[in-house]
Amino acid sequence: MFDYARPADLAEALDMGAKTGSAYMAGGTDLVPLWKLRAEMPTRVVDISRLPLGEIAAGASLRLGALAKLSDVAADASVNARWPLIAEALNASASGQVRNMATVGGALLQRTRCAYFRNDALPCNKRQPGSGCGAQTGENRGHAIFGASGACVATHPSDLAVALTALDAEVELAQAGGTRRVAAVDLYRLPGETPHLDTVLKPGELIAAVDIPESDGARSTYLKVRDRASFEFAVVSVAAVLRVEDEKIAHVRLVAGGVASRPWRLAQCEAALLGQRPTQAVFEGAAALAVEGAQALEHNGFKIEVLRRAVRRALETVGGKT
């Protein structure tokens, strides 16, 4: 049994959501399947779908309300013209039907697709702390090559999160005492010894909006490698943002998805690219740096080479081949 509540405004929603056992629900595209699988078992559902948090406002920057539908964001003319990376990432996500229901906030808070997490008969520290991580020695083809721990090797599934991290987005979090802001890259936790804590959200907090700065003429691309062409999560993905000035790279962001419990910023690659001419040799060198420190499990070692090639291809797309 569970209680259902539909708050009249944000303040009431935050009060309801702060109570133990509560879960916010908007589109329900992740929560409902997890509930059926017993990976989530809320005792109270707080329906926030009618709160006024669905804005898509483009000015000097882009503001996306947490309840903006993914399909609306992907179709927005300003998003496509000025922040095309967001539209690319969304159009590579899920299916059209799911995007019609799923929201920006929900997309950022998706939980892992790890089969051990989504089967309550299998051990999973993320679902049941202390039960073990079955993927460590089990089926781990889709699992992390960066940032994992002995307690968890799951990956984060959101395409949108990868794109927003590459665009230096900030996430506005609402709580009873007001709001706070965190960089998109800092929204997610590494598993460590507490893999059941996916994000830095406090109990009762919810995502209110995301703010994305102007891209300042940078080129971008979202490259997603997956097992099939539609409705599939990334084996490896790369969001690349690059601006060239006076024939040299003046700004670059490279973020990988499908390789860690959060979007994985390739800072070492970025540092090697800044100030360099956008040549094939430079891109090859940066791609080699992208996989430094990767640690493969028994079945996912192929991801290392896939990531290297994906980074090179993404750089060639945004920087051209010289």
CATH number at residue 248: 3.30.390.50
Q: Is residue 302 part of a domain?
A: yes
Q: Is residue 132 part of a domain?
A: no
Residues lower than pLDDT 70 in the chain: 321-322
Q: Is residue 244 part of a domain?
A: yes
Q: Strands (DSSP E) along 152-283, which ranges?
A: 170-175, 178-183, 206-212, 219-225, 236-245, 248-257, 264-265
Query: For residue range 115-140, what is the model confidence (pLDDT) as tens digits?
Result: 999 999 999 999 999 999 999 999 99
Specify the pLDDT at position 217: 87
Q: How many domains does the chain have?
A: 1
Q: Is residue 83 part of a domain?
A: no
Q: Is residue 43 part of a domain?
A: no
Specify the pLDDT at position 230: 81
CB atoms within 10 A of CB 274: 11
Helix, strand, coil % in the chain, rounded to nearest 5 = 30, 25, 50
Task: Give the residue numbers spanning the domain of 236.
Answer: 219-319
Q: Is residue 245 part of a domain?
A: yes
Q: Is residue 308 part of a domain?
A: yes
Query: For residue range 238-267, what is the model confidence (pLDDT) as tens digits?
Result: 999 999 999 999 999 999 999 999 999 999
| Tokens of residue 21, six digits | 């056992």
Specify the pLDDT at position 1: 81
Q: Is residue 261 part of a domain?
A: yes
**pTM greater than 0.85 (yes/no):** yes
Specify the pLDDT at position 215: 84
Specify the pLDDT at position 321: 60
